[in-house]
Structure 1
Amino acid sequence: MGCPSSFRMNSVGKKAGPIPLASRIGALNLGGVNSSLRSGCGLGQAPTNSGLAFILGRAPRGRLANQIPAEILNNPQLQAAIQVLPSNYNFEIPKTIWRIQQAQAKKVALQMPEGLLLFACTIVDILERFTEAEVMVMGDVTYGACCVDDFTARALGADFLVHYGHSCLVPMDTSAQDFRVLYVFVDIRIDTTHLLDSIRLTFPPASALALVSTIQFVSTLQAAAQELKAEYRVSVPQCKPLSPGEILGCTSPHLPKEVEAVVYLGDGRFHLESVMIANPSVPAYRYDPYSKVLSREQYDCQRMQANRQEAIAAARSAKSWGLILGTLGRQGSPKILEHLESRLRALGLPFMRLLLSEIFPSKLRLLPEVDVWVQVACPRLSIDWGTAFPKPLLTPYEAAVALRDISWQQPYPMDFYAGSSLGPWTVNHGRDRLLQHPGRLALAKVPERPARPFPAVACEACSCRDEEVAPLAP
């Protein structure tokens, strides 16, 4: 899996360095706290949403209840405090303060990936100065939105959780009055001019391109797609319930045959490999917004599939099965576990359950009587590291193949959180067909404003529920 072709350039073809962080972290006298912020505020004006919204829980409580008061948005002391954070990162501090006030939260937990932890102390200081809440940071590892850890937050006495850096993959029940969850995407602005120039220098006009990214760069991705549509046949694919253009390490769309290349905007390869596995015949490129490098990426899908088929073949002769439920946040799905249990019972196959926050080969070696393991945590554990385990380590999909519930699929499906997935061995199977009943997930159309594209999927706890995710990159 190498990168045979890569380059770094700026708009005139010269070498360019990494994008500056633009952080202005330093000493700042925040002064006194505005009493109106601490005691609650009147209602101000906020921009409207657009696109497709996922509304969780009861019927919408009205736009006015979700608008951020002008007393918060225009507070000079709060604006000065926010300036300490990087200017191209949107932590949505005003909305967070307003939501904490609305919930009358007393103890707030912050959860974020390791790449954002360096900003945690600053955010804690701001939130504690402008609300009445005590704020704490949850330092356990957070790999993705599937790791949102409301269980630990509740156990620590928190009544409000702010989850940074991921979309609302695991919706929370907003009907529970004693606990609230707010998802903050942390939209990151980047140099879109350099991205556009890199694409223009790489692909001839009229090429059919698919653009994908992680949630941090989705608003920039959609703006870039609008710019490129005059020169290219551009698509921003969607794998619902994700936002248009958003992909996960375990969930990516199957691209149409006419797509000639897929361009991933983001650092690292984990998410990109997901769309490469789902579309092995489509050339893949990665644009790193920090190094400003556009590279051609490779993935050995044939070798991966051969490894997985070998594990499935071994599982078919297994006498005893082990079912692992991931306990890292909400990573494990009890619904999938129950489905697997029912299938094994129907076939008369003995099994044991094992709860693990992290799955290591050394841990499973302690249970040699188990012939095959099925992990309900992250499919990529099996795909990426399955050969390192002493016994076959299957995904729920691979278990379905081993149990002959479904035939081997080509290409390999990356639909673990997709609403239109293959079967009940995925988290959101059948979600697209849910009826709009009170207290259940509903699809609602809201007015579209094409001049300002931004992530279209939202829920009551998401960054894009009340206002646009972030200003577009310059």
Structure 2
Amino acid sequence: MTAAFSSSSEAVLQRVLDAPAERSVPLESLEEVYQIKKTCDFISHNQYKKAALQFPDELLVDAVAIADEIEKGTQAKVYILGDTSYGSCCVDEVAAEHTGADCMVHYGRACLSPSRRLPLMYVFERRPVDLEKCVACFKELYPDAQSHAIVLYDVNYAHVIDDLLALLTPEYQNVVASMLLVDGEQCHDERDEAQSDGEVVSQFGRRFALKSGTSIKDYGMFFVGVKGAALRNFMMTWNGCSFCSFDPTSATGRAESAGVNRALMKRYYAIERAKDANVVGILVGTLGVADYLAIIQQLKGAIRSAGKKSYVFAMGKINVAKLANFLEIDVYVLIACPENSLLDSSEFYRPVVTPFEMELACNKHREWSEEYVTDFRHLLPGGLSHVPLAGEEEESDDDTDVSLITGALRTRHMILDGPPPRPSDASVVLRNPTLTVANTNAAASFLAGRSWQGLERKLGETPVVKAVQGRRGIAIAYEEEGTS
């Protein structure tokens, strides 16, 4: 493909670009892959006038064709959303509201985190699975036919799980398959769970019922899908279970549990860094997951009670360069969906922890145990893992511990709410330096101490001059530079 970059009416530079052909679904297969009729029924039945279609980058090639088919089958105006502000697995309700949409349709992989603003429909990309090889790998990984196993899977493979279960259950009577849920509503055909009267587990948009008299620790987990955020989230949450996986892209299976303890120790190191921190940056990594504002407020209170300062940052997709701009921050805490919360921060200048890890660092009532929480909604009042903060009356001068990283003595000190008392001429207030953990200076004092403070307007200091003709062209070849 030849691309021409021009300045004014003259071509400045021409070159040939190798553009690989994009994968796209044939028009006759759109209905099967993207459930066009079901989507049209969802829009028409509810009489929605505007619909926002959210696509991940890898599916945008089919977006125009899908939108055309939906507009033909409904009376609604359709908008295409791409390049979401945060992870593509989350529903970008804010972008949809900018278009004035009445509903949303989310395509591709999804973390199934609950949302609150708009009616929502999920359309999962149906990826192929070689069931014979999958069954063979399962039997190799679980040679005992009496093994208790729970089948988990990425959402793109939900359409084959019933067939997989039908092939396994004649030999494996203790195999349980999970069911996809969205805020309590099933994403596919209901599976009969009447034969099980044991505990029912509902988490991460999945539900499965355990056999009577068993607990989740009695089961191994068999995951169907590509190794990534979903599998990592499951392994950290149910870290007391052994994990095996089958990758449909390579048709291979393997045991996954060897790295769980190592991953937990890396997270524990991050918690120690959070305990040592004086200044905490709260990163807003989602605007769509329900209750994200509530967890921000709860974290502010926990950080404040531990004598630390906090600042909130909203910067869209996070990268190393963005976070390196704030050298005063000692540790960041990321508010995101469960799959995106477990960020590998080894390349970052400062560690990035989860809300659960930050609470472990700030709330003395929460202790490190086998429980690991990736869904921040469970930390809120009424949640499964909520632990109230220590009250002011429980704080004492002897509430100290030792940093496992620096060996220094750490002292918790609660910052009282409200303005400090006004000193009088007859009063002298003694300050105990051992209780001062966080620098009480405002953010402006940090900025004043920097050698480079960013772009400044300097109103009244810059002379006013007439506009002059600037350069023309592109940086590689301005017109006035000529050719060499």
Answer whether TM exceeds 0.5 for this pair: yes
Q: How many angstroms apart in 2 are the aligned matches of 1:344 and 1:282?
A: 32
**Judging changes above 3 Å, is the alpha-carbon distance between structure 1 residues 201 and 215 closer, same or farther for their aligned structure 2 residues?**
same
Query: More displaced, 109-118 or 146-155?
Result: 109-118
1:199 aligns with 138
1:310-339 CA distance string (max 9 Å, x none): 222222232222212224644881110011
In the alignment, which of 166, 175, 178 is matched to residue 234 of structure 1? 175
Deviations 1:122-179 (A, max 9, x none): 2112112222233232111487676211211121233332112337532335xxxxx6
**What are the equivalent positions in structure 2 for 1:166-181 lying under 5 Å apart?**
166=110, 168-173=112-117, 180-181=119-120
Post-superposition offset of 1:285: 2.2
CA distance in structure 2 between the aligned counterparts of 1:251 and 1:402, rounded to whole angstroms: 31
Q: Which residue of 1 aligns with 2:375?
A: 416
The reply to whether residue 358 of structure 1 matches residue 302 of structure 2 is: no
Match of 1:274 in 2: 233
Aligned to 1:60: none
Q: Does 1:256 align with 2:226?
A: no
SS at match of 2:325: coil
Corresponding position of 2:418? none
Match of 1:304 among 260, 263, 281: 263
Q: Take 2:113 and 2:258, find their aligned partners in 1: how far apart are those partners?
A: 26
CA positional deviation for 1:248: 5.3
Do the aligned partners of 2:141 and 2:244 also contact (CA within 8 Å) in 1?
Answer: no
Return closer, same or farther for 1:303/1:294 CA change in 2, 3 Å cut-off: closer
Structure 2 CA distance for partners of 1:217 and 1:355, relative to 1, 3 Å: same
Q: Secondary structure at the match of 2:30?
A: coil
Partner of 2:153: 213
Deviations 1:67-93 (A, max 9, x none): xxxxxxxxxxxxxxxx33274x3x332
Deviation at 1:362?
1.8
Q: How much does 1:363 deviate?
A: 1.5
Question: 1:48-197 maps to which residues of 2 (within 5 A)?
Answer: 83-85=28-30, 87=32, 89=33, 91-141=34-84, 147-165=90-108, 166=110, 168-173=112-117, 180-186=119-125, 190-197=129-136
Cα distance in 2 for residues equivalent to 1:317 and 1:285: 36
State the distance in 2 between where 1:274 and 1:143 align.
18
* Bigger mean CA offset, 247-256 vs 399-408: 247-256
Query: Which amino acid in 1 is paired with 2:156?
Result: Q
Q: Determine the C-alpha separation between the residues in 1 that align with 2:137 and 2:270.
A: 41
- The alignment-based identity, stated in percent, is 26
Q: Secondary structure at the match of 2:121?
A: strand
State the number of aligned residues. Answer: 342
In structure 2, C-alpha distance between the alignment counterparts of 1:310 and 1:430, rounded to whole Å: 25
CA contact (8 A) 1:318 1:371 kept: yes
Give the CA deviation at 1:278. 3.3
Q: Which amino acid aligns with 1:208?
A: H
AA partner of residue 107 (structure 2): Y
TM-score (norm 2): 0.60
Q: How does 1:448-467 map to 2 (within 5 A)?
A: none
Secondary structure, counterpart of 1:195 in structure 2: helix
- Secondary structure of residue in 2 paired with 1:122: helix
1:403 equivalenced with 2:362 (yes/no): yes
Q: Secondary structure at the residue paired with 2:277?
A: coil
| Alpha-carbon distance between aligned partners in 2 of 1:348 and 1:284, rounded to the nearest angstrom | 40
The one-letter code of the counterpart of 1:385 is D
Question: What CA deviation, in whole Å up to 9, does each residue of 1:393-442 have, x standing for no partner?
Answer: 22110111101344443335144167xx4x329xx82599xxxxxxxxxx
Match of residue 375, structure 1, among 334, 340, 347: 334
Name 1:445's counterpart in structure 2. Answer: none
Q: Is the 8 A contact 2:79 2:99 kept in 1?
A: no
Over the aligned positions, Cα root-mean-square deviation in angstroms equals 3.9
Is 1:429 the equivalent of 2:430?
Answer: no
Are 2:26 and 1:25 aligned? Answer: yes
Q: Is the 8 A contact 2:85 2:316 kept in 1?
A: no
Report what 1:386 is aligned to. 345
Amino acid in the other structure paired with 1:148: V
- Matches of 1:332 and 1:206 in 2, distance apart? 42
Q: 1:250 to 1:224 in 2, by over 3 A?
A: closer
- Report the TM-score when normalising by structure 1: 0.61
In structure 1, distance between residues paired with 2:363 and 2:227: 35
Q: 1:12 corresponds to which residue?
A: none
For structure 1, list consecutive stretches of 5 or more residues without a partner in the other structure. 1-21, 27-82, 174-178, 433-474
